[in-house]
């Protein structure tokens, strides 16, 4: 790839760190140097982003690529409100609509690339009905976009583990086939046996060296109890940094003293919280979690699928939703939402190097905004997007 | 102005009404005919919007133009969370930032025009400190945009009525000067005397033939009690259709049976509810209110001001927030949010004629979306905006 220098941007290194005007020297897809007055070897590319804010590549930490209808015709939502009805609707209409669809997944990934996302964690349905077709479809789409976006799949038992015989075997199959993270879903409320589901997941994770990311919608004290079960197992297995709870509606619902204890324990155990701030559902206490040292990441959840028609794939817009629902008004608070869509996601995914620093992959996004908080509020067009040193968006237009 | 024909659009007439492909014949700023195969007199303008959805001009039903910093440099939010601190911050920094600023207000109104808004209700601070400067500044900006957007001001006692001596006299002054709607604010929680503030407002309203629109953040049973006081006074004064409660956080907070009674009474009394679905604050039960026949309108609340940095001025985006926070997934539900941003606002403002129907002012917006719900979800660029028969946006670009 040779050398490229991205000149004159204002580099963002994380919340409260301010901005540093600097050039970024990229060599062979990796950031070689960051500082003033850098230049590249003769014949190298020079990209001027004078005055633009330069963010590290955005991280989508929770979505469902396999379910998406993105880029196809509008499909009016057809399910009722109860969860069971929405699950049945999803099952019934998948065949009719040809889901999972590699072209739809590709269209959404292209949209993500264009909006500056470099890394994606996606929860892919794995169950006796779908088998591993979702995993294969997502893999096929990700291969089409290779070098432009990195996709990590979670083998996700959407329809339960214990209540859906054959699912555990398929989860193991997925791990054997290269999937590196196991999903779970409401071990109590859905699977009816919290200890049973979690023991099964942690046992599999230990055997295959996998991480874990559990969908936890269960609310109040029941959900809080499951937080504790997950924390206990994470500590026992030494899986700190490899385990996450997605949604975690219970955390903002329980009383303040109980919440405070859980926040401290999440931080100590190295269990991340992943939120999308979706619809009207509870949003975790991002500021408190970060102050305690617990990791917070952010994602869309479903994007244009049988579960709901919303979602754009733009992680700056998603960070806006998180900041807005958190009633963050001050720049330093809004930056916490941006952190969840960047560094928080990178920690969730365990990326070995990340950020606008020497040695990290050259994943960066330049936007016209006065401050990082303003970039979240206005989520303006991406003027430049670079992934692994490759320019994928230039002057706001995708580069083929 | 002569004749213009807008051809081939798919006309939206309200929730659940479907779309009708038709031409719209505009004569002298008014819709003359709607139907298939229409043509204008020779030499008249023809605008092709084949396949686009045509909405009536959008209605912004609750904002604070006088406070805005829109179009100027980013001002990081500087207030703490408590209401008293935010009010003090607003007071302290207005002078420093030159608020109200006719240029800023004009910039925001231009943004609203470009996004298809034809009508605006704005709550303008009126108090002994600001006097009527806000009212004059908004009026000056509105005059600059005359013929492109219609602005209705509410004389708004942001800092209380009874607790802020001199305010009542200024509210009356505003009415004498042509303002047609009186605002109020938390008659109990802020002004400490709900009956006192409301009696004063309703007495003034009766004397000047004014309408009323009260900011009601007071929650739970206290706020619900104030709902009742407002409903009782509206009925006693025969002001049905001229009174609104903005925000009304109490309604979703009280128990279901109590809420049901209030919803029925709001409908019977002709009291509108205005919501922005802002931040994480409670959202009224839009679907239930509409089913009962109560009117619901929608607005941004503050846009880029000392109260918070969010808000774009785009009412399709705002309708998205309302639909999203309402957990509306089905097209017919999402259309209720669109109704609040169109017909609901028109009813709030008491517009004598509105919609894509003969006899209404030719205010219309064409967007590229498959369904009205999709227009809310994606809030795409406005391809054509016409206000009172004048083309203000064409091919997505503002027309000077």
**What share of chain B in percent tops pLDDT 90?**
92
Instruction: Supply the DSSP string of B59-106, one letter for each residue.
Output: EEEEE-GGG--TTS--------SSHHHHHHHHHHHHHHHTSS-HHHHH
Q: Using a CB-CB distance cutoff of 8 angstroms, which residues of chain A are in contact with residue B79?
A: 329
Whether the predicted pLDDT of B83 surpasses 80: no
Helices (H), A145-255: 167-176, 194-208, 220-237, 250-253
Helices (H), chain B: 83-97, 102-114, 133-144, 167-176, 194-208, 220-237, 250-253, 256-269, 286-292, 315-325, 331-340, 343-349, 372-378
Question: Cα B209 vs. chain centroid, distance in angstroms?
Answer: 21
Q: What is the pLDDT of residues B300-338, one digit of tens each?
A: 999 999 999 999 999 999 999 999 999 999 999 999 999
The Cα-based distances of A382 to A2, A316, B67, B235 in angstroms read 24, 10, 30, 53
Task: Give the pLDDT of residue B39.
Answer: 81
CA distance B398 to chain A (A): 19
The continuous run of DSSP H or E covering A265 comes out as: helix A256-269
Give the span between the Cα atoms of B124 and B300, in whole angstroms.
14
pLDDT in tens, chain A (400 residues): 689 999 999 999 999 999 999 999 999 999 999 999 998 777 779 999 999 999 999 999 999 999 999 999 999 998 887 877 888 888 889 989 999 999 999 999 999 999 999 999 999 999 999 999 999 999 999 999 999 999 999 999 999 999 999 999 999 999 999 999 999 999 999 999 999 999 999 999 999 999 999 999 999 999 999 999 999 999 999 999 999 999 999 999 999 999 999 999 999 999 999 999 999 999 999 999 999 999 999 999 999 999 999 999 999 999 999 999 999 999 999 999 999 999 999 999 999 999 999 999 999 999 999 999 999 999 999 999 999 999 999 998 999 7
> Looking up tokens 């006309």, which residue turns up?
B11
Q: What is the CA radius of gyration of chain A?
A: 21
Give the span between the Cα atoms of B223 and B226, in whole angstroms.
5
CA distance B18 to chain A (A): 13
Task: Give the pLDDT of residue A1.
Answer: 62
**Mean pLDDT of all residues belonging to chain B:** 96
Residue among B73, B327, B374 minimizing CB distance to A370: B73
Task: Give the pLDDT of residue A42.
Answer: 74
- Please indicate, yes or no, whether the overall pTM of this predicted structure exceeds 0.90: yes
List all residues 6 or more positions away from A313 whose beta carbon is below 8 Å from its beta carbon.
A60, A70, A108, A111, A112, A115, A117, A300, A303
Q: What is the pLDDT of residues B200-236, one digit of tens each?
A: 999 999 999 999 999 999 999 999 999 999 999 999 9
Task: Give the pLDDT of residue A396.
Answer: 87
Give the span between the Cα atoms of A390 and A6, in whole angstroms.
12
Question: Cα A335 vs. chain centroid, distance in angstroms?
Answer: 17
Q: What is the DSSP letter of A239?
A: -
Q: Work out whether the CA dihedral B322, B328, B333, B334 comes out positive or negative.
A: positive
Q: What is the pLDDT of residues B296-309, one digit of tens each?
A: 999 999 999 999 99
Whether the predicted pLDDT of B81 surpasses 90: no
ipTM, 2 dp: 0.97
Whether the predicted pLDDT of B1 surpasses 70: no
What is the greatest pairwise CA distance in chain B? 65
From the list B318, B308, B369, B388, the residue with the least C-alpha distance to B77 is: B308
Residue among A280, A283, A329 minimizing CB distance to B309: A329
Tell whether A371 lies on the interface with B, counting CB pairs under 8 A.
yes
SS3 string, A29-40, reads: CEEEEEECCCCC
Tell whether A82 lies on the interface with B, counting CB pairs under 8 A.
no
The residues in B 45-74 lying below 8 A from A, measured between CB atoms, are 73-74
How many beta-carbon pairs below 8 A join chains A and B? 72
List all residues 6 or more positions away from A328 whose beta carbon is below 8 Å from its beta carbon.
A286, A287, A334, A336, A337
The residues in B 176-215 lying below 8 A from A, measured between CB atoms, are none
Backbone angles phi, psi at B341, to 5 degrees: -90, 5
CA distance B317 to chain A (A): 12
CA distance A121 to chain B (A): 23
Mutate to test the interface with B, among A71, A329, A371 (most CBs of B within 10 A): A329
Q: How many CB atoms lie within 10 A of CB A86?
A: 18
**Mean pLDDT of all residues belonging to chain A:** 96
From the list B87, B82, B88, B26, the residue with the least C-alpha distance to B57 is: B26
Task: Give the pLDDT of residue B308.
Answer: 94
Looking only at the bridges linking them, the beta strands covering B211-216 and B243-247 are parallel
């Amino acid at each position: 790839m040779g050398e490229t220098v991205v000149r004159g941007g204002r580099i963002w290194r994380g919340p409260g760190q301010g901005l540093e005007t600097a050039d970024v020297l990229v060599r062979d897809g990796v950031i070689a140097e960051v500082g003033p007055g850098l230049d590249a070897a003769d014949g190298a590319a020079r990209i001027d982003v004078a005055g633009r804010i330069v963010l590290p590549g955005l991280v989508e930490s929770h979505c469902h690529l396999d379910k998406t209808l993105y880029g196809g015709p509008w499909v009016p939502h057809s399910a009722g409100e109860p969860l069971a009805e929405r699950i049945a609707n999803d099952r019934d209409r998948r065949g009719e609509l040809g889901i999972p669809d590699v072209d739809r997944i590709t269209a959404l990934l292209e949209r993500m690339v264009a909006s500056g996302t470099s890394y994606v964690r996606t929860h892919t349905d794995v169950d006796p009905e779908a088998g591993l077709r979702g995993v294969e479809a997502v893999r096929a789409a990700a291969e089409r976009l290779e070098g432009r976006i990195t996709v990590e799949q979670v083998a996700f038992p959407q329809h339960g583990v214990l209540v859906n015989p054959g699912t555990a075997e398929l989860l193991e199959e997925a791990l054997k086939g290269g999937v590196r993270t196991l999903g779970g879903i409401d071990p109590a409320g859905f699977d009816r046996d919290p200890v049973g589901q979690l023991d099964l997941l942690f046992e599999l994770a230990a055997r295959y060296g996998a991480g874990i990311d559990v969908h936890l919608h269960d609310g109040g004290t029941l959900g809080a109890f499951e937080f504790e079960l997950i924390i206990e197992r994470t500590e026992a297995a030494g899986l700190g940094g490899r385990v996450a709870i997605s949604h975690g509606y219970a955390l903002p619902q329980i009383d303040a003293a109980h919440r405070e204890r859980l926040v401290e324990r999440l931080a100590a155990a190295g269990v991340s919280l992943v939120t999308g701030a979706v619809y009207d559902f509870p949003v975790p206490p991002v500021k408190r979690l970060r102050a305690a040292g617990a990791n917070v990441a952010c994602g869309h959840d479903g994007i244009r699928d049988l579960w709901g028609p919303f979602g754009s794939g733009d992680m700056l817009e998603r960070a806006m939703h998180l900041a807005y629902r958190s009633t963050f008004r001050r720049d330093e608070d809004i930056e916490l939402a941006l952190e969840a869509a960047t560094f928080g996601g990178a920690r969730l995914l365990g990326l070995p190097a990340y950020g606008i620093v020497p040695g990290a992959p050259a994943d960066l996004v330049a936007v016209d905004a006065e401050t990082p908080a303003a970039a979240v509020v206005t989520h303006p067009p991406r003027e430049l997007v670079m992934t692994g040193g490759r320019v994928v968006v230039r002057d706001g237009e995708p580069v083929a």
